[in-house]
Structure 1
C-alpha cells in the first residue's frame, strides 16, 4: 500500500491568512479528496494505486 500525501499549493503567500480549518468529514471535503486521489491514480502506472490512509487537516479559503 502506497501512502498518498494530499496537499494544496497556494500561489500567493498573502492567501495564507485567509485559510480556515474545516471538518474533514464534510461531504465537499471528502469529494475533493477522492477527486484528487482518482486523478493522481489515473496518471500513474495501473499496477500501483494510491489510497488515503489518514487526513491530518483540511483548510479552505
Structure 2
C-alpha cells in the first residue's frame, strides 16, 4: 500500500494505514471531513476522472 498524506499549508501530514483502509482513501481524492487533498509522498495530486454512466429514463 502506498503511503498517503493530507496536504496542508504547513506541509504534508501522513495518514495512518488503518484510516486509509477504513475510509477507502486514495491519492487524488479529498478527506471526508475537512475536504483537504490527499497526495502521495511526492505531493502529487492526480485526480482520475470517473466516467459516469448515462441512463435513459425511457425503457
Please indicate, yes or no, whether the TM-score normalized by the shorter chain is above 0.5: no
For the aligned pair, the TM-score class normalised by the smaller chain equals: under 0.3
Q: Which has the higher contact order (CA 8 A, sep 6+)?
A: 1
Higher Rg: 2
TM-score, structure 2 length as denominator? 0.20
Decide which structure has greater helix share: 1
